[in-house]
Chain A
Amino acid sequence: MKWTAKDLDMYIQSKEYVDTVLIPLVPISFGGQMKQTGSMNEFLTILSLEIEKQMKGRILLMPTFHYLHDEMDKIERLKGWANEVKENDFKHIFFLTSDFEWKKEEQELENHLVWIPAIPLDSLENDQAREMINQQVLQILDIFTYNWKNEKK
C-alpha cells in the first residue's frame, strides 16, 4: 500500500495483514554528487513503486526518507522513524537504498537494509529499463518472502 488516503484507508481496515514497512532512503546533494543523487532518486522511486505493486497487501510503502548527503544526524533521524513504525505494530522494517554510506552503518540500523546499486535509467531504452527493473524486483521479493517464512517458524 502506498502512503495515499485511499490506500491508507485500506490499511486501516486490514491492519492485521500488513506487517511490513518499506522505506526508501535517498540522499540530496548540490555538489559533485548532484546528478548521482538524481539517478538514485529516479531509480528508487520506480523500484519501490514496483515492489509495492507486487506486494500491495502486506507492505506499506512509506514516503521516501530524504537526507543531505553529508548530514551528520541522519542515522539518528532514521532510527526515530523506525521506532515510530515499530511502536505501531509492524514486525518488519526494510530500508531500500542505493547510497553506499548506509551499508557501512548496517549494524547500527538493526533492521533489514537492502542496498542495490542504482541503474542509470536515463541511458536505457524504455523496454530495457522495464525489463531490468522487473528482474530486480523479483529478486528483492525473495528477500521479503524469505523473512516472512522464517518468522512463522
Chain B
Amino acid sequence: MSKHNVSRRQFLNYTLTGVGGFMAAGMLMPMVRFAIDPVLSVDKGGDYVATKQKVSELTTEPTRVDFSFKQVDGWYESEETNTAWVYKMDDGKIIALSPICKHLGCTVAWNTDKSNPNQFFCPCHYGRYTKDGVNVKGTPPVSPLDVYDTKEKDGILYLGQLKPHGEA
C-alpha cells in the first residue's frame, strides 16, 4: 500500500468531516456546559456567617447578636447588618431567632414591654412572641418568628440560613 492511494474524493471527504466535526463540537460544547451548569455551581445557600459572639458567653437569656454580610441589592453591593436574638436552651441547644416581626416587618426586642415580661415585643402594633418565638394569640402576628441555622466553630457562633419556625 503506497500513500498515493488516497483519492481526491476520499481526501475531500476526510477534510470536510474533520472540519465539520470541529464546528459541531464548537457549537455543542458550550451548550452542554450551559445545560449542566446548575449541577456544577457551588451551593451558596449553605454559607454560614461568623458573628462576634462567643458561644460560651451565651446564657438562657436572649442576647442581641449583630452580624454583617455582603448583600447585592439592585445594582449596589452593600454591607448589610442583621440581628438575631440568641440564647441557650436548658439542654445547651442554641436558638437564634430573627427579630423581624411576622406581622409587617418591624424589629422586635426581648423583654421591653413592662406589662408582659419575658416575651419578644414588637413596638409597632404591640405584637408579642414567647421566648421560643411563637406568636401570642390575640396579638397581630399570625405566625412564629423565623429561626436561623446555627453552628459553632472555634468557640464562635455562626449563623446560617433563615428558616420558618419548626424547620431549623
* A interface residue numbers (CB < 8 A to B): 10, 14, 17-18, 53-58, 126, 130, 141, 144-145, 148
- 8 Å CB contact of A54 from B79, B103, B104, B107: B107
Report the interface size class on chain B. 10 to 19
Chain A residue at minimal CB-CB distance from B99: A54
* B interface residue numbers (CB < 8 A to A): 79, 81, 101, 103-107, 122-125, 140
- 8 Å CB contact of B105 from A57, A126, A141, A144: A57
Chain B residue at minimal CB-CB distance from A138: B109
- For the complex, give the distance between the alpha carbons of A73 and B140 in Å: 43
Return 8 A-B CB contacts under 8 Å, by A number.
A17-B125, A56-B104, A56-B106, A57-B101, A57-B106, A58-B124, A126-B79, A130-B81
Q: A17-B140, A58-B125 are in contact. List 15 more A-B contacts (CB 8 A).
A: A17-B124, A18-B104, A53-B107, A54-B106, A54-B107, A55-B107, A55-B124, A56-B107, A56-B124, A57-B101, A57-B103, A57-B104, A57-B122, A58-B104, A145-B123
User: Which residues of the other chain, A, contact B124 by a CB distance below 8 angstroms?
Assistant: 17, 55-58
- For the complex, give the distance between the alpha carbons of A58 and B79 in Å: 25
User: Which residues of the other chain, A, contact B101 by a CB distance below 8 angstroms?
Assistant: 57
B143 to chain A, nearest CB (A): 14
A55:B81 contact, CB within 8 angstroms: no
- For the complex, give the distance between the alpha carbons of A59 and B101 in Å: 14
A58:B106 contact, CB within 8 angstroms: yes
Q: Which 8 A-B pairs have the closest CB atoms?
A: A57-B104, A58-B124, A56-B105, A57-B106, A57-B124, A54-B107, A145-B123, A57-B105
